Structure 1
Amino acid sequence: MATPITVGVIGATGNTGRTVVEGLLSSTTKFTVTSFTREVSVNSPANQRLKSKGVRIVGYDLNGPKEKLVDQLAGIDILISCITWEHLDLQVPWIEAAKEAGVKRFVPSEWVGPAPKGVIDIKDKKLEILGVIQRAGLPYTIIDVGCWYQVFVPKVPSGKSDHGHMIYIDHRIVEDGNQKFALTDMADIGKYVAQIVSDPRTLNRHVFAYTEVLSMNEIWDVMARASGEDPPKDYVSGAELNEIIDVCRKRLQESESGMRARDIMDVANFNMGQYRISWCIRGDNTPEYADYLGYLDFWKMFPDFPKGRSLMEFYQEVLRGNASG
C-alpha cells in the first residue's frame, strides 16, 4: 500500500478550506489531513466536525516562537493555504517555517482566475507572496480556478433564486456581455486540488482548473433555462466600472487614514470592479490567456478526470433551495 501524502490546510474551516478538505478526503489518492487552526479555535464546532471525519487538528500561534511552528510542520508533505484575501501577509511566517521544516510543496491562497500584474490589487498581493515563496526557494504550486458559480446568481421574477443572490456583488452585465470567462463550482475546487497536488508535473508550476467557460449573457441564459423565467438584465460600461473603482479607492484610502469609517460596499465594489474589468473586458480569466501566462491546463493534463457540476445543475439546486451563493 502506498504511503499516504500528508497535507496541512491553513484555514480549513473557511469556504475554500472546507471544499479543499472534502476533496482531499474523497480522493482516490490517499491523503492524511491536518487542519492548522488558531489555538483559540481548536475546539470550535467547525474543527470538531473536521475531527470527526479523521482530520487532525493542530492549534498554532503566529506570535509564538518560530521553532514551534517549524516543529508543527515537521512531516507535512504539502501545505495548502486557504487564508482569506484580507490576510494574505499572514502566509509569510508559514512560508519561512515550511522551508525550514522541509515541506515539499506549498500551495498559496489563490483560488480565483489568472491575471497579469497591475489589473487586480488582490492578485498583485498574491504575486508578491509568490515572490516571497521563490526567494525562500520553497517548492510550490499555484492553483487558479476562475470565477466561482456562487458569485453570479441572477434574480428571477418569482424570487426563487433570491436566497443565492449575493447582495455585495454588482450583478449588472458588463459592456455587451459577450466576453467569456472561466467558472467553477466552489464545491468542486477540492477535487481538482487533490488531483493537482498529487501529480509531480505540477511542482513549481501554475495550474488553471475550471469547469465552464461562459459569457455573462450565457450565464443569464442558463438561469433562464433552469428557471423557465427571464432574469432581468441591467448593463454597466467599462468606463462606469473604472469610475466606481476610482471613487471607492479614494474612500478606502480615506478610511485607512482615519478620515472616515470603512464601508463593506466600497470594499466589495472596488474588488469586484477590478475583477469584472479583468474577467469581462480584458479576457484574462480564460484558458487561452492562462496558456499565454504559462499555466498548465487541468483538462489537458487530466482529460479523463470527472467534470465538476455544471452551472445548470448548480442553478437548479439554487432554485430548489438546496444551494446558495
Structure 2
Amino acid sequence: MSTITKVALAGARGNIGGPVLDQLLKAGFQVTVLTREGGSATFPSAVTVKHVDYDSVESLTAALQGQDALVVTITTSAIGKEYNLIEASIKAGVKRFIPSEFGSDTFNEKLSKLPGYKAKVDIHEALRKAARESSLTWTSVVNGPFLDWGISASFLLNAKDRTIEYPDGGNHQFSATTLESIGKAVAGVLKNPEQTKNRPVYVQDVAITQRQLGDLVKKFVGADGWKETVSSIDEAVQQVWDEVKKAEPNPGPVFFGTLKAAIWGGDAYNSRFQKLDNELLGIKGLSPAELEAVVAKNIPK
C-alpha cells in the first residue's frame, strides 16, 4: 500500500477527536477536518476545514476527494452516520478507514454478541464487505477505557464524591489508555498501513484492576469516607438481556450494562488485551511513576 499523507478527520472536537487531531498534526500528516455545515468550531491554521452534510453521501464524497485516509471520532450516538462515510470513502477512493471504535474489544466473540455493541459490530461487517468489494481498507483501534478521562469525568470511579464500584470484586485486570496515546496509536496505524490492514489493533498504557485504581486515587485524596459497592458482571449482563426483551427497551441500561462487562468482565471479554500492538504503533505504556502522575493530574478538584 502506498504511503498515507492526507488524512480527513470527522468529529474533531469530541473527547477523542481533539487528541487525535493533535497527534496527526505532530506526526506530519496533512489534515482536513470535516465539520457540520453551519458549525462554529475553530481549528489550528494548519488544518483544512470542509463543511459537510453527514446525511448526504454526495457532500461527503466531494469533501473526501484526494484524501488517503478517513478517521472517524464521532460519538457513539451518531454511529449510524458511518454508513454514509463508508460509502463516500469508497466513491472518493479513500485507502484507509478508521471507524469510531476506540473502546473495548468488540471483536471478542462473547462481547460482540451483547446488544449494547450491536451498532459497532454492524459497522465491522460493513467495513469487511467494503474491503471485499472495493479498494477501501480499514483498521479499528481497540484501547479499553480512557484512563485520564475516566478519572476526570468520574466514569471509572468518582473521586469527588468518593464512590467506587468493584464489579466481581474489582480484581480483574483491564487495559486502559490515555487520550494522548490513543491519538498516537491512530497516527501509528497510518504510518504502518500494510501491517495494520483490515484488522483491529490493540493498545494500552496500563493493565490495572479496579482495586488498584481505587488505591491509587485514595493515595491522593485520602482513604476515609468512601462508599464502596461490589457488583456482579453476570447479573449486569442478565439485566441487559432482560431489558432488551421489553416492548420498549431503555438503551441506557443496555449500553452501560454491556460496557460494564466489557471493561471489568475479565478474560471472557478480553478486558485485558492478550496481544498488543504497542511496539508497532509507538505506544510505550506508563511506568508506575507515570501512572501515578496521570491519576493525580486527572482527579477532579
Common fold by TM > 0.5 = yes
SS at match of 1:12: coil
Equivalent in 90, 95, 100 of residue 91 of structure 2: 100
Aligned residues of 1:120 and 1:278 also touching (Cα < 8 A): no
Matching residue's letter, 2:143: V
Separation in structure 1 between the aligned mates of residue 63 and residue 54 of structure 2, nearest angstrom: 12
Amino acid at match of 2:53: D
CA distance in 1, matches of 2:59, 2:218: 54
Question: Which of residues 39, 43, 58 in structure 1 aligns to 2:50?
Answer: 58
Q: 2:211 aligns with which of 203, 211, 217?
A: 217
Name the aligned partner's letter for residue 271 of structure 2: N
Within 1, Cα distance between the matches of 2:178 and 2:129?
33
2:260 is matched with which residue?
Answer: 276
Q: For residue 316 of structure 1, what is the aligned residue in structure 2?
A: 296
Amino acid in the other structure paired with 1:35: V
Q: In structure 2, what is the Cα distance between the partners aligned to 1:272 and 1:114?
A: 15
SS of 1:140's equivalent in the other structure is: strand
User: Does residue 307 of the first structure (1) align with residue 300 of the second (2)?
Assistant: no
Moved more, 95-104 or 309-318: 309-318
Q: Residue deviations 1:90-111, cap 9 Å, x none?
A: 1111111111211110001100
Say which SS state the counterpart of residue 172 (structure 1) adopts. strand
* Aligned match of 1:263: none
Q: CA deviation at 1:271?
A: 1.5
* Distance apart, 1:308 and its partner CA: 5.6
* CA-CA distance at 1:194 after TM superposition: 1.0
Aligned positions of 1:167-316 closer than 5 A? 171-200=164-193, 201-230=195-224, 231-246=226-241, 248-249=243-244, 253-254=247-248, 267-283=251-267, 284-288=270-274, 291=275, 297-302=276-281, 305-307=283-285, 310-316=290-296
* Structure 1 contact 185–311 (Cα < 8 Å) conserved: no
Query: 1:89 — aligned with what?
Result: 80
2:145 is matched with 147
* C-alpha distance in 2 between matches for 1:6 and 1:214: 36
Q: CA deviation at 1:243?
A: 4.9
Match of 1:258 in 2: none
Q: RMSD across aligned C-alpha pairs, in angstroms?
A: 2.6
Distance 2:164 2:256 in 1: 10
CA distance in 1, matches of 2:13, 2:38: 14
Describe the shift of the 1:243–1:63 C-alpha distance in structure 2 as closer, same or farther (beyond 3 A).
closer
Which amino acid in 1 is paired with 2:285?
K
1:69 aligns to what?
60
Q: CA deviation at 1:209?
A: 1.2
Q: Deviations over 1:160-198 (max 9, x none)?
A: x34xx8xxxx94211121111101122432122112221
Q: Aligned residue for 2:21?
A: 21
* CA drift at 1:81: 0.7
In 2: Cα distance, 1:222 partner to 1:320 partner = 14
**Structure 2 spans left out of the alignment, 5+ residues:** none
Structure 1 SS opposite 2:200: strand
Q: Is the 8 A contact 2:184 2:283 kept in 1?
A: no
Taking structure 2 as the reference length, what is the TM-score of the superposition?
Answer: 0.83
1:155 CA displacement: 3.9
Q: Summarize deviations over 1:48-88 as a string: whole Å, max 9, x none.
A: 1x1x3421110111344x44432221111110011211222
SS of the equivalent of 1:109 reads coil
**Alignment match of 1:131 (pick from 121, 125, 134):** 125
Return the letter of the residue paired with 2:23. G
Task: Label 1:301 to 1:92 Cα distance change in 2 as closer, same or farther (>3 A).
Answer: same
Selected match of 1:37 from 35, 38, 44: 35
Give the % identical residues: 25
Shift in Å at residue 22 of structure 1?
A: 1.1
| Gapped regions of structure 1 (runs ≥ 5) | 256-265, 292-296
1:210-250 C-alpha deviation (Å, 9 max, x unpaired): 10101111111111223343544211123442354345445
The amino acid across from 1:103 in the alignment is: V
Q: By how many angstroms is 1:154 displaced? A: 3.3
> Does the 8 Å contact 2:34/2:63 carry over to 1?
no
Q: Secondary structure at the match of 1:147?
A: coil
Moved more, 130-139 or 66-75: 66-75
